[in-house]
Chain A
Amino acid sequence: MNIVVAMKQIPDLQQIRIRNRQPLFDDVPLTLGTIDKNALEAAVVLKEADESIKVTVLSAGNEEVEDTVKEALAAGADEAFLVLDDALEGADSAAIAAVLAAAIKQMEDVDLILFGEGSGDNYSGQVGSRVAELLNMPQAGYVSAMEIKGGNAVVTRTLEDCDEVLEMTLPGVISVMAGLNEPRIPSVTQILKAGKKPKEVLELDEVDVDIKKLAFTETISNLAPESNRKKIVVKSVDELLQGLRSENLIGR
């Protein structure tokens, strides 16, 4: 059985600084999406229970992805399939989905495609759904538990007010919930071995997608919200309650 885990390269969000409301990306290390790592971990857990499963990590992005993806190979993916072009950095979800779907079509017999419920940086949650449509596959999102039974996946989709238990005929697309599991931290040996795992690297024109035609959205601005909080440092609970009373916030 072949499982593909789609992962997005993102800047390490903890290290982004804001200056004059502008996010600064200089020297911010690149990593893979947090929820994508949950998806990978879920695939690796399935593989550990069934030797015949092969896990391929799939990523579309700029040239640096080739290095960033080692993290996923160290954490248990068997191989990587990459589509690299600097124009893919920050490309529209529609373009990335088209590239991923085209790449999946070039792979052999993919049974299951895993995504995170949203990317770490944009969290728009479109790509998995778009890929499912492009490949004409069933999908289940916000999955908090999954099992493979024969040719089917039995999954739990966790919505705000209920859980749905679904049986999905494979091939299919699953997007996992954030925090579904605790992704493993690879050991030093695993990190060293990761560099030797097979990697297939394609250029954008090898997947035959015109991403310029799929640039649907435009960003006018992307700034940190202004915070003009008072930051009054009080010394005691009494002083705090006094302040809140004077503003009519308590004891109304």
Chain B
Amino acid sequence: MAGILIFSDKTNLALELLTAANSISSSSADIKAVTINNDEQVQALSEAGANVYRINAADLIMADVGAVAAALGQAAGELGSDIILLSSNRRGKEIAGRLAQVVGAGCLTDVNSLETDDGKITCKRNALAGATVANQYIKADKQVIAIVPKSFAPAEGGSGSINDLTVEVKPSALKLLEVKTKAGESVDIEAAEVIVAVGQGLNSKDDLVMVEELAKLLGGEVACSKPVATDKKWLSEDRVIGLSGKKCKPQLAIILGVSGQVQFTVGIRDAKTIVSINTDDNATMNSLSDYVLVTDLHEAVKAMNSAL
């Protein structure tokens, strides 16, 4: 396999990319990790066994995707890497297309698994808004592949190296005026073993109290369909399951009042057991579930809370 370059703005995702790179390459010497203005990441990657090439350039800002892509393109050229793995978080996806254009590569984003087969790297990704899973590969020599967070475990242990890399940075047409960190406690519904997810079948925000109680009794997290967060604003967006939210793989998912459109189900279909509680016995969600209870979710939640 040709040389592989990995890059993510986030250290935890860069460590996952290192695992991904190792899974398609037999020689760790061929894998090179680039960091941009991030000493903590240099450390973490080298301690996980990566050959790190650090770019420290004060005038290179992460918010300027064009400049970042130009820097990574120079790095790939200098290091002889034909394959570039990025993280498919928002920043990574935005960089992917631009970098592919810089180096003349084919590109796949939102990739959740990699396999090597006869020199090809076959990638799985959701298509048609999650209705299908496409099996694709890039036939060009140069490849940019962006990998969905948590598709690979973070790499750990190993002895890497730290090297310096200088790149040319052009004046930026972008000025970063302000960074607003999102308020509120952050939850990680992707890590939860049990999920209790509510959809628009929930009557009111007040009814969330009993849903939260149920989640607590089961040792799980509350999650929701997108409209519950973006339209109703009853829960924060980091609790949304689905195409534009999180992909969860809990042991148990209790889905309350969700119709089961594909943009939602794509985020929960890897759960081990799915329960759907819905007043509509024809809800699509029911046909994608292991247990189906056709009833009012509010009554059901109350009954579960008193039984548990």
Interface residues of A (CB under 8 A from B): 13, 16, 18, 23, 92-94, 97, 120-130, 132-134, 137-142, 154, 157-169, 172, 175, 178-179, 215-225, 227, 229-238, 240-241, 243-244, 247, 249-251
Contacts and interface: CB of A to CB of B under 8 A. Distances in A.
Given A222-B132, A234-B293, A249 B252 contact: yes
A215 B268 CA distance: 33
Nearest to A250: B218
Given A159-B91, A217-B138, A220-B122, A169 B291 contact: no
A143 to B, nearest CB: 11
A238 B295 CA distance: 13
Interface stretch (B34-42, B45-53, B74-82, B104-112): B104-112
23 contacts: A124-B109, A125-B93, A125-B109, A141-B90, A164-B176, A165-B178, A166-B63, A166-B175, A167-B175, A172-B173, A217-B137, A217-B138, A219-B135, A220-B136, A222-B134, A223-B133, A231-B286, A231-B289, A234-B291, A237-B300, A249-B251, A250-B218, A251-B308
A113 to B, nearest CB: 14
Interface string B178-218: 11111000100000000000000000000000000000001
Contacts of B122: 220
Given A13-B131, A161-B182, A231 B292 contact: yes
B291 A244 contact: yes
Dominant secondary structure of chain B at its interface with chain A: mixed
B106 to A, nearest CB: 3
A216 B300 CA distance: 51
A243 B127 contact: no
Q: Give the interface centre of B107, B177, B244, B294 by most chain A CB atoms within 10 Å.
A: B107
Contacts of B140: 216
B97 A126 contact: yes
Nearest to B250: A249
Nearest to A21: B132
B287 A179 contact: no
Contacts of A237: 293, 300, 303-304, 307
Nearest to A237: B303
A215 B138 CA distance: 9
B69 interface: yes
A250 B252 contact: yes
Interface in B125-157: 126-129, 131-140
A48 to B, nearest CB: 24
Nearest to B63: A164
B224 interface: no
Q: Give the interface centre of A128, A241, A250 by most chain B CB atoms within 10 Å.
A: A250
B106 A216 contact: yes
A224 B132 contact: yes
Nearest to B266: A225
Contacts of A18: 131-132
B274 interface: yes
A94 to B, nearest CB: 7
Given A23-B131, A168-B175, 6 more contacts: A132-B66, A138-B174, A140-B174, A165-B176, A218-B137, A229-B290
Given A163-B180, A227-B269, A138 B132 contact: no
Contact of B244 (A92, A167, A178, A229): A178
Contacts of B135: 219-222
B243 to A, nearest CB: 7
A131 to B, nearest CB: 8
Given A13-B128, A141-B90, A164-B178, A126 B304 contact: no
6 shortest interchain CB distances as A-B pairs: A216-B106, A129-B97, A126-B97, A133-B101, A138-B173, A129-B98
A58 to B, nearest CB: 17
B14 to A, nearest CB: 15
B127 A222 contact: yes
A100 to B, nearest CB: 12
Nearest to B9: A159
B65 A139 contact: yes
A216 B132 contact: no
A235 B269 CA distance: 24
Contacts of B24: none
B66 A139 contact: yes
A232 B291 contact: yes
Contacts of A250: 218, 252, 308
Contacts of B286: 231
A167 B127 CA distance: 34
A126 B252 contact: no
Contacts of B69: 129, 133
B94 A141 contact: yes
B100 interface: yes
A116 B172 CA distance: 23
A158 B181 CA distance: 10
Contact of A225 (B95, B133, B139, B230): B133
B287 A231 contact: yes
B230 A138 contact: no
